[in-house]
Structure 1
């Protein structure tokens, strides 16, 4: 297998989307696409599998709800019960209406923060990590598609130029 990769640069998201569909119709594997903004439907056109991030968010929210419930049950009922505003403090269920806002907030807090941590770990975005962007223009107004070369460099170059690529570059894989 060759160590080369072809980078096709597009200047319009609609042209990129049509190119992705044409390349996937030829059963070629697209390594990566770099875009300056999210392109609706690109993941489906590339054939990427569905993400399980919603399941993770639900689990993280449940963890937050459990932590909030146990924390309030321990602090307000078992450890230091106080009579605040005439409300009795001998039962968790009796005080549940007062605990609902705190439970909601900690559910959202845990869900949001753990999702960010999960995203960074899953994307391998560590502190001080060097950027992997192959072309600076993809952060402004261009789109870049990378396809691995497998002894078909000339055919791939011709296909990418035919799909509307502004620039086609053959480079070594990092």
Structure 2
């Protein structure tokens, strides 16, 4: 197992963290990860992360839900067991489309929501009984942690992080 060094810089304010991220990024240091107790607006752009493709998967999952609902209603109400309900005979899917729209909408939303949750958990590698990967428990309460990779530049990085307002700076040996 290969070990690498990282610096953990702790901040107590999200605005100070945001300014620090911009300063560290502009100095061309690689920020491995940032741990925060709540979402910080604009942090992804400040870190230079690529935009998410989650909306595309949501749309595709909604399309799957719509297709399943159309197939299901056509099979159940038209092909398998057509019934005259309220004087409205079920001879074709198109004739009964207005009655099917709420079901189509609900299954579209159902599939998109449930499959998005499953995708999020798989993509984030979250599953039952997984050990937390949080390096400092204070980041679940009121502290912010920036993890920066070190390449024989500890002194330069430490000085830069002190300038940005870090309240605590720790050099950590991290196993991969």
User: Which residue of the partner structure matches residue 52 of structure 1?
Assistant: 53
Aligned length: 174
How is 1:87-166 mapped onto 2 (pairs within 5 angstroms)? 87-166=88-167
| Partners of 1:23 and 1:2 in 2: CA distance | 23
Gaps of 5+ in 1: none
| Partners of 1:7 and 1:157 in 2: CA distance | 10
Give deviations 1:5-29, integer Å, cap 9, x for gaps.
1000000000000000000110111
| Partners of 2:88 and 2:138 in 1: CA distance | 62
Q: Does 1:43 align with 2:31?
A: no
Give deviations 1:28-51, integer Å, cap 9, x for gaps.
110000000000000000000011
Detail structure 1 runs of 4+ shifted over 4 Å in the superposition: none
Q: Is the 8 A contact 1:2 1:149 kept in 2?
A: no
Q: Per-residue deviation at 1:127? A: 1.4
Q: Per-residue deviation at 1:2? A: 6.8
User: Which residue of the partner structure matches residue 82 of structure 1?
Assistant: 83
| Partners of 2:157 and 2:60 in 1: CA distance | 44
User: Which residue of the partner structure matches residue 28 of structure 2?
Assistant: 27
Q: Per-residue deviation at 1:109? A: 0.2
Q: Is the 8 A contact 1:65 1:107 kept in 2?
A: yes
Q: Per-residue deviation at 1:71? A: 0.2
Query: Alignment RMSD, CA only?
Result: 1.1
